[in-house]
A and B are shown apart, each in its own frame.
Chain A
Amino acid sequence: MKDRYTDAIQNRFTAYLQAAIANRKASYFGKRNRILAKEIVFEDQSYKSYLDFEIQYHGYQVEQSAFIVMDWERYEEFITTLESRGLFHALDGLKERHKKILFARLFGELTFREIGEKFGMTEKQAEAVYFYIITKLRKEMEGKRDEF
């Protein structure tokens, strides 16, 4: 019984590591070559193979990603373990400040006024920046979809 539990941990760790490796790889190529990075996005589907530990990992991931709701400031960890390569790329391309604003709004559920105070802007400016980020993300992800 004890052994089976340990195996589950090892499987989860392996899957966790594989997700991190895939993201790190994508980010590495992204930095080296932005054009090549766009091609990696659609490999998303072809990499899928349904091994036991991956199923375990999905359950684990849902369980583990709950922290972001409690504490949006851990957004870096959240981004690292994202399943969707496309979304990871779009987020990876954002400025640090913009990532913070996005997560503060989405998961921190701060109002635009609070965001404005936090980042030294007026309420209107915060709102404009937020919608700018959303538009940018959308453009980034759709742009890639249209290529293929």
Chain B
Amino acid sequence: MNFEDLLRRAKEGEAEAIRQIHRMYRPLLIKNAMELGIFDEDLYQELCAALLQCIRMFTI
């Protein structure tokens, strides 16, 4: 699957494409949500919101 197409579809609001990008970046989000070895659920939610915002704002 071509990432550019995927991103374009996600930008248009296609739920499946957004889900797929989220699945791709989940490990990164989880890594960043770890503080001192403890998983911070609230922070993870914040980062998910940041990902959605990035998809919307990123210009190809």
Residues on A lying within 8 angstroms of B by beta carbon are 5-7, 9-10, 12-14, 16-18, 20-21, 23-25, 28, 64, 77, 80
Contact = CB atoms under 8 A, between A and B. Distances in A.
B12 interface: no
A13 B46 CA distance: 18
Contacts of B59: 64
A17 B60 contact: no
How many B residues are at the interface, by size bracket? 20 to 34
A17 B57 CA distance: 10
A53 to B, nearest CB: 13
B15 to A, nearest CB: 19
A10 B54 contact: no
What DSSP secondary structure best describes chain B's contact surface? Answer: helix
Contacts of A10: 3-4
Given A7-B3, A16-B54, 13 more contacts: A9-B4, A13-B7, A14-B25, A14-B28, A17-B25, A20-B50, A20-B54, A21-B29, A21-B32, A21-B50, A21-B51, A77-B57, A80-B57
B17 interface: no
A23 B32 CA distance: 12
A18 B60 CA distance: 17
Contacts of B28: 14, 17-18, 21
Contact of B54 (A5, A13, A64): A13
Contacts of B32: 21, 25
28 contacts: A5-B4, A6-B2, A7-B3, A9-B7, A9-B60, A10-B3, A12-B58, A13-B3, A13-B58, A14-B28, A16-B58, A17-B25, A17-B28, A17-B51, A18-B28, A20-B50, A20-B51, A20-B54, A21-B47, A21-B50, A23-B50, A24-B47, A25-B32, A25-B43, A28-B42, A64-B59, A77-B57, A80-B53
